[in-house]
Amino acid sequence: MTPPRVLVLACGALAREILALLPPERFPAITLQCLPATLHNRPERIGAALRTALAALAGQYDRILIGYGDCGSGGEVDRVAAAFGATRLPGPHCYAFFSGVAEFASRAEDDLQSFFLTDFLARHFETLVWQGLGLDRHPDLRDLYFGNYVRVVYLAQTEDAALTTAAAAAAARLGLGFERRFVGYGDLASGLARIVAA
């Protein structure tokens, strides 16, 4: 019996983690396609980008998983998923599904003044955060963007000393405290497992 053809259309910031959980040699019927991680800074564009990609791939897959949370799209990711018969990852954003959606929600009040980094964002802080928000050109924007935060919380997917050092350096650069939490893949793993098992 031929396995169903599955598309995982995901944020580029999740590519490394998805490939670790669904290595192509073990899951040849699953295709990973990623949209640019720079959409992280422009959530209002995520829905349109997903819609365009899914329209171009119509009819090529038996199941589709959208590798995004809502991600600040105002419900647009869910509307696109419904329009194309797709499912999406659990939770409002990657910080929640890496932490575990329930765990993230239970810490919401304590984390109200926290800026989150993942392995990807620790690795690409300079490009996506510092330059992406224009702080390289306008350092005075630091207080506008980060003035209400008190700490950076690094939600680590892996045990990587270099990434921990990079995340701590990012916190120092922003003038914020630093906390590291090892969370692994959290609900990303179970969300991907469900689509594989369906």
> What is the per-residue pLDDT across 109-150, written as a single tens digit (0 to 9) for each?
999 999 999 999 999 999 999 999 999 999 999 999 999 999
Residues 66-79, mean pLDDT to the nearest whole number: 95
Report which of 29, 15, 23, 63 is spatially closest to residue 194, judged by C-alpha positions.
63
Is there a domain that residue 33 lies in? yes
Tell me if 70 is assigned to some domain. yes
Total residue length of the chain = 198
**pTM of model > 0.85:** yes
Whether residues 24 and 84 share a domain: the answer is yes
* 84 shares a domain with 134: no
More confident of the two residues 197 and 25: 25
Give pLDDT, residue 45: 96
**58 and 118 inside one domain:** no
| Reported confidence tier of residue 194, pLDDT bands at 50, 70, 90 | confident
For the chain, what percent of residues have pLDDT higher than 70?
A: 99
CB atoms within 10 A of CB 26: 9
**Same domain assignment for residues 13 and 73:** yes
Nearby residues of 40 by Cβ (< 8 Å), 6 or more positions away: 11, 13, 71, 121, 128, 132
Number of domains in the chain: 2
**For the chain, how big is the Rg over CA atoms in Å?**
17
What are 21-68's pLDDT values in tens digits?
999 999 999 999 999 999 988 999 999 999 999 999 999 999 999 999
Is 1 a domain residue?
A: no
Residues 137 and 173 in one domain: yes
End-to-end CA distance of the chain: 15
Residue 51 lies in a domain: yes
Residue 150 belongs to what domain range? 103-182
Residue 136's contacts (CB-CB under 8 Å, 6 or more residues apart) are 130
